Amino acid sequence: MTTITTFYLSRIVGIKAYDSNEKYVGIVKDLLVESESSNLTSGHPAVTGIKIKHNNQLSFYSFQQFRVEKVNGKIKIIATQLTNLPEENINNDLSLIESVLDKQIVDINGRKLVRVNDVRLVSLVNGTFAVAVDIGVEGLLRRIGIAKPLKFGLSLVGSDMPGKFINWNDFEAIDFSNLNIKLSKTYKKLQTLHPSDLADIIEELGKKASAEIFSSLDDEKAADVMEELEPETQVQILESLSIEKAADVLDKMPADEVADILDGLEDEKIELLLNEMEEETSQDVRELLVYPDHTVGSIMSSEFMSFNLNMTIEEVLNELRRTKPESETLYNLFVTDESDVLLATFSIRDVVITPPDTQINRIMKPSPVHLRDYQKINEVAEIVSKYNLLAIPVVDNKNVLKGMVVIDDVIEDLIRKRRTNK
């Protein structure tokens, strides 16, 4: 046999398999392919096993001794020998019926969820491989059994039905919710997606799949994705994680975001999480949690950099290099006195264009626009727009600097308000 046979999963599932002596072996129920964790020698995963039903009994056989042929347009499957598939393959390999066909998968290039209508396979001399998934209308019609007549009809009027396929390397199977065995998947391809896209996908998924994908992410990535999720999904995901993992993820997030998320949880759970988190982060979060909703304190970020007015630019730069703050903290710098009372602001631009031995008090802008921590949020947007600010310092009633509100948080609040008004 030197021919290449391409075929669809839907054409092979449900047909009868025979051995080389034309003896009936059973009905094909499923195919197993190499999962991503095993090293793929070629670009595409090979079919490793086949599930066959005979006399009401299901058995898994190794696919190496099976041959797929196309005779007069009909797919035939022939078993040269029946070898039981090792337990390891049954448990670890990817079942096309259980986890791919009719399930949602992540289209990595399109960055969205799509539903699989069929799987395209190819049989070569050295084995049978899964090539692509069919997500187009043609696949649907093929499954219903009206693709061929429809295609014929279309060809009469000179038209064609465009197929839609995704190459096997460009998607990630995610739906294992119908399985009892717990696969420890790595979802390597998903790691390449932008956190916002990943968050959108997680929101659209069922509960089990979204929890599983989230817990497969490393803490850093998980924190980025968590920030992008809708509040309901944030709570739902947090509830699905172990306290330790949840605390690790929260540790990597800004304190104001953490406080927002915790607001949606039950009191006992909040205490558990805060105790598990690192002392420094949880202290900041506790302070923020005191502020009621709709006050500036509840959306402000408690991460900011403040300096003494006698420090030089050189010293400021050294301090920044030492602490390596996030970019939003870096852009807006503050000047405070010994008791943390806000005196002035200066920007990273001022720092960059000033000679290193200059003192801060020469470049700083005194009596800056500021907010009170218990002020209502809806006044903030106006102030931001009026003074063209990227961030505003927040002080308490003794003018002690407590944090800052970044324009990003203001926009987020505005969007949320608009959405709930809809």
The contact set with other proteins (CB under 8 A) reads 102-104, 112, 114-117, 135, 140, 143-145, 175, 177-180, 205-208, 210, 230, 232-233, 235-236, 239, 266-267, 270-271, 286, 289, 419-422
Is 209 or 380 the residue whose CB approaches other proteins more closely?
209
Is 101 or 130 the residue whose CB approaches other proteins more closely?
101
Is 219 or 263 the residue whose CB approaches other proteins more closely?
263
For residue 137, the minimal CB distance to other proteins (Å) is: 8
State the chain's maximal CA–CA distance in angstroms: 95
Quote the crossing angle between the two packed helices 267-276 and 279-289, to the nearest 10°: 150
For residue 101, the minimal CB distance to other proteins (Å) is: 8
For residue 20, the minimal CB distance to other proteins (Å) is: 31
The residues near 93 (Cβ < 8 Å, ≥ 6 apart) are: 32, 33, 34, 35, 48, 49
Q: Is 298 exposed, middle or buried (CB count within 10 Å of its CB: 0-12, 13-18, 19+)?
A: buried
For residue 28, the minimal CB distance to other proteins (Å) is: 15
For residue 103, the minimal CB distance to other proteins (Å) is: 6
Is 205 or 217 the residue whose CB approaches other proteins more closely?
205
Distance CA 334, CA 368 (A): 10
Which DSSP string do the residues of 212-250 spell out, in sequence order? HHHHHS-HHHHHHHHHHS-HHHHHHHHHHS-HHHHHHHH
For residue 53, the minimal CB distance to other proteins (Å) is: 16
Is 51 or 252 the residue whose CB approaches other proteins more closely?
51
Is 208 or 372 the residue whose CB approaches other proteins more closely?
208
For residue 233, the minimal CB distance to other proteins (Å) is: 7
Tokens of 46: 């090979």
The residues near 343 (Cβ < 8 Å, ≥ 6 apart) are: 309, 335, 336, 337, 364, 366
Name the residue among 5, 19, 30 with its Cα closest to residue 79: 19
Is 145 or 355 the residue whose CB approaches other proteins more closely?
145
Name the residue among 229, 210, 174, 143 with its Cα closest to residue 35: 174
Buried b (16+ CB within 10 A) or exposed e, 179-207: eeeeeebebeebeebebebbbbbbbebee
Q: How many CB atoms lie within 10 A of CB 108?
A: 18
- Look at phi and psi of residue 409 and say left if phi exceeds 0, alpha if psi is from -120 to 50, else beta: alpha
Is 266 or 382 the residue whose CB approaches other proteins more closely?
266
Is 76 or 286 the residue whose CB approaches other proteins more closely?
286
The residues near 300 (Cβ < 8 Å, ≥ 6 apart) are: 256, 288, 371, 373, 394, 402, 403, 404, 405, 409
The residues near 329 (Cβ < 8 Å, ≥ 6 apart) are: 301, 303, 304, 305
Is 144 or 156 the residue whose CB approaches other proteins more closely?
144
H or E stretch at 154: helix 147-156
H or E stretch at 284: helix 279-289
The residues near 50 (Cβ < 8 Å, ≥ 6 apart) are: 17, 28, 30, 31, 32, 60, 61, 63, 66, 85
For residue 353, the minimal CB distance to other proteins (Å) is: 43
Is 67 or 111 the residue whose CB approaches other proteins more closely?
111
For residue 342, the minimal CB distance to other proteins (Å) is: 27
